[in-house]
Amino acid sequence: RFCQVPSYRNGVIQRFSNNMSEMKRLTACDFEDILQCAMLVFEGLFPGDHDAIIQSLLYRFAHWHTLAKLQVHSKTTLSALDNTFKKLSGQLHRFHDFMCITFTMMELPKERAAWERRAACECSGLDNPDAGSGSQKVKKFNLSTYKFHAMEDYVQSIRLFGTTDSFTMQL
C-alpha cells in the first residue's frame, strides 16, 4: 500500500519503493516519510478495536516525533513533548497488552535463514543438531529496551543541551 501513496511537493514526501516491507536501504528521511504516511497506509488493515489502537499509536508517534524534532523549544513545547510522551507510553503499553496477546508474531523466513547461516558458520566442522532444524521462532514486542527507555529523557536532554541540531561533535 505504500507504493500507492503519491509523492508530495518536490520531494517533501518521496515515492516509496515497491516493497517497503523489506525495509532495505532506507535513510532517516525515508523513515520520516513512512511515519507521516503510516496512518493512511495501515487504516483498515486490522479489525475494529485493533485498527483503533494502531491508528492512535501511529498518531501519538507522529505527534511526539514532530515535537521532538523542533529546532527551537519553549517551556510550552517541552511541556507538550513531555505530555505527548506520557500519552505515547500509555499507548505503547496498551498495544503491548492488547495487540501482542491477540496476534502471534513469528520471525520471517529471511531471519530464520540468516540465523541458520550464522549457526552453520560458527559450527562448521562440528556436528550441530540444532542448526537447520526446528520451525520459526515466536517474536515478542519488547518495551524493555534502551530505545524506549531513552525516549523519556528527551525533554531533560533538550533542557540541558538544547536540540540535537544545535551542537556538533566535530573537532
Overall domain count for the chain: 2
Same domain, 69 and 127: no
Answer yes or no: is 130 within a domain: yes
Residue 125 lies in a domain: yes
Closest CA to 162 of 77, 88, 65: 77
Q: Are residues 73 and 92 in the same domain?
A: yes
Residue carrying the nine cell digits 523542533:
70
pTM exceeds 0.85? no
Pick from 102, 110, 99: nearest CA to 136: 110
Q: 111 and 100, same structural domain? A: no
Does residue 8 lie within any of the structural domains?
yes
Q: How far is CA 163 from the centre of its chain?
A: 21
Question: Residue 18 belongs to what domain range?
Answer: 2-104+145-161
CB 38 within 8 A of CB 20: no
Res 142 pLDDT > 80: yes
104 CB burial (10 A radius; 0-12, 13-18, 19+): exposed
- Tell me the residue ranges of DSSP E strands in the chain: 105-106, 138-139
Would you call 153 exposed, middle or buried from its count of C-beta atoms within 10 A (0-12, 13-18, 19+)? exposed
Would you call 2 helix, strand, or coil by DSSP?
A: helix
Residue-wise pLDDT for 35-88, tens only, equals: 777 777 778 778 888 888 888 998 999 999 889 888 899 999 999 999 999 999
